[in-house]
């Protein structure tokens, strides 16, 4: 990893200004080159196939399907893919699902620029990185069994649940995930059974406790519901 052989990075965030900031931080290191940028999950996946970057730096909150879904697709295509999640979300449910999907690391957006550069270097070398904030939340999650109920969901089921809670219809979720509406309906029934909830109200209560509902913050965690 030298200026003559830089780490090739794909940046994924739906805000162009944010991507410009990331690019500046990373390329200032002189051992990284941003070879592409994407603003949606689909764009990220297509650019990953085309560019074959060494590391993908990806936000979770994207229009339609999330960065977790994009990571899942990338790892399904290439098990050697190295995806570093970089998000406003510090809730354990998001971190666990991202890691379950195959992400090599998870940082929050309040991370210092130098720490982001070091995390990309670590990812390129196959080493995992968690920001202190995420590691702390995961440790706290171990003493909050109600919130760990979401761990029974697969990354795909978690994504369906997230989109449902964001207010998307069955048809919209099907379109975002490239599945049929019937498949989504069946998966939603399986999700309710796995979580042992009998109604959408119970599902919302459980998801709110885990910080998944965008318009309701988890009690005791200020400002983390928005991304």
CATH number at residue 184: 1.10.10.10
- Whether 23 and 127 map to the same domain: the answer is yes
- Whether 130 and 190 map to the same domain: the answer is no
pLDDT value for 211: 66
pLDDT value for 180: 93
How many residues does the structure list for the chain? 227
Strand order across the beta sheet in which 55-58 lies:
32-38, 7-12, 55-58, 83-87, 105-108, 129-130
Quote the CA–CA distance of 123 and 45 in Å, as a whole number: 18
- Whether 92 and 195 map to the same domain: the answer is no
pLDDT value for 1: 61
Residue 216 pLDDT > 50? no
We report the CATH number of the domain holding residue 85 as: 3.40.50.2300
pLDDT value for 82: 97
Confidence of residue 123 (pLDDT cuts 50, 70, 90): very high
Residue appearing with tokens 């899942």: 72
CB under 8 Å to 185, separation ≥6 — which residues?
170
pLDDT tens by residue, 143-202: 555 556 777 888 888 889 888 888 889 999 999 898 999 999 999 889 888 888 887 778
Instruction: Tell whether 216 is covered by a domain.
Output: no
- Whether 124 and 171 map to the same domain: the answer is no
Instruction: Tell whether 2 is covered by a domain.
Output: no
- Whether 56 and 131 map to the same domain: the answer is yes
The domain of 183 spans: 147-209
- Contact between 126 and 112 under an 8 Å Cβ cutoff? The reply is no
73 vs 207 pLDDT, higher one: 73
Instruction: Tell whether 85 is covered by a domain.
Output: yes
- Contact between 10 and 47 under an 8 Å Cβ cutoff? The reply is yes
- Whether 72 and 127 map to the same domain: the answer is yes
Confidence of residue 141 (pLDDT cuts 50, 70, 90): low
Instruction: Tell whether 31 is covered by a domain.
Output: yes
CA distances from 22 to 28, 37, 56, 59, 108 (A): 10, 10, 12, 11, 13
- Whether 34 and 129 map to the same domain: the answer is yes
* Exposure class string for 58-82: b at 16+ Cβ within 10 A, else e: bbbbbebbbbbbbbbbbbeeeeebb
pLDDT value for 139: 67
- Whether 175 and 83 map to the same domain: the answer is no
- Whether 199 and 132 map to the same domain: the answer is no
pLDDT value for 224: 38
Give the residue-averaged pLDDT of 100-125.
Answer: 92
Copy the structure tokens of residue 30.
């002189």
Give the residue-averaged pLDDT of 66-78.
Answer: 94
pLDDT tens by residue, 11-69: 999 999 999 998 998 999 889 999 999 999 999 999 999 999 999 999 998 988 999 99
Closest CA to 83 of 91, 97, 92: 97
How many structural domains compose the chain? Answer: 2
Residue appearing with tokens 């162009």: 16
Residue 57, beta-bridge partner list? 11, 84
Quote the CA–CA distance of 77 and 147 in Å, as a whole number: 31
Copy the structure tokens of residue 113.
């620029």
């Amino acid at each position: 990893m030298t200026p003559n052989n830089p780490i090739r990075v794909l940046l994924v965030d739906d805000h162009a200004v944010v991507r410009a900031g990331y690019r500046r931080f990373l390329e200032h290191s002189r051992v990284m080159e941003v070879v592409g940028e994407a603003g949606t999950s689909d764009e990220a996946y297509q650019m990953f196939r085309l560019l074959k970057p060494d590391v993908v730096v990806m936000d979770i909150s994207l229009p339609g399907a999330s960065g977790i879904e994009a990571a899942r697709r990338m790892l399904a295509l290439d098990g050697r893919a190295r995806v570093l999640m970089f998000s406003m979300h510090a809730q354990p449910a998001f971190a666990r699902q991202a890691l379950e999907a195959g992400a090599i690391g998870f940082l929050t957006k309040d991370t210092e620029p130098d720490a982001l550069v070091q995390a990309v270097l670590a990812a390129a070398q196959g080493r995992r990185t968690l920001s202190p904030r995420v590691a702390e939340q995961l440790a706290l999650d171990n003493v909050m069994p109600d919130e760990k109920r979401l761990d029974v969901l697969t990354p795909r089921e978690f994504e369906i649940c997230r989109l449902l809670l964001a207010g998307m219809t069955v048809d919209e979720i099907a379109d975002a995930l490239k599945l049929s509406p019937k498949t989504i309906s069946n998966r939603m029934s399986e999700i309710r059974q796995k979580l042992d909830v009998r109604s959408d109200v119970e599902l919302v209560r459980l998801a709110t406790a885990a910080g998944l509902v965008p318009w309701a913050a988890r009690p005791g965690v200020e400002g983390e519901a928005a991304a």
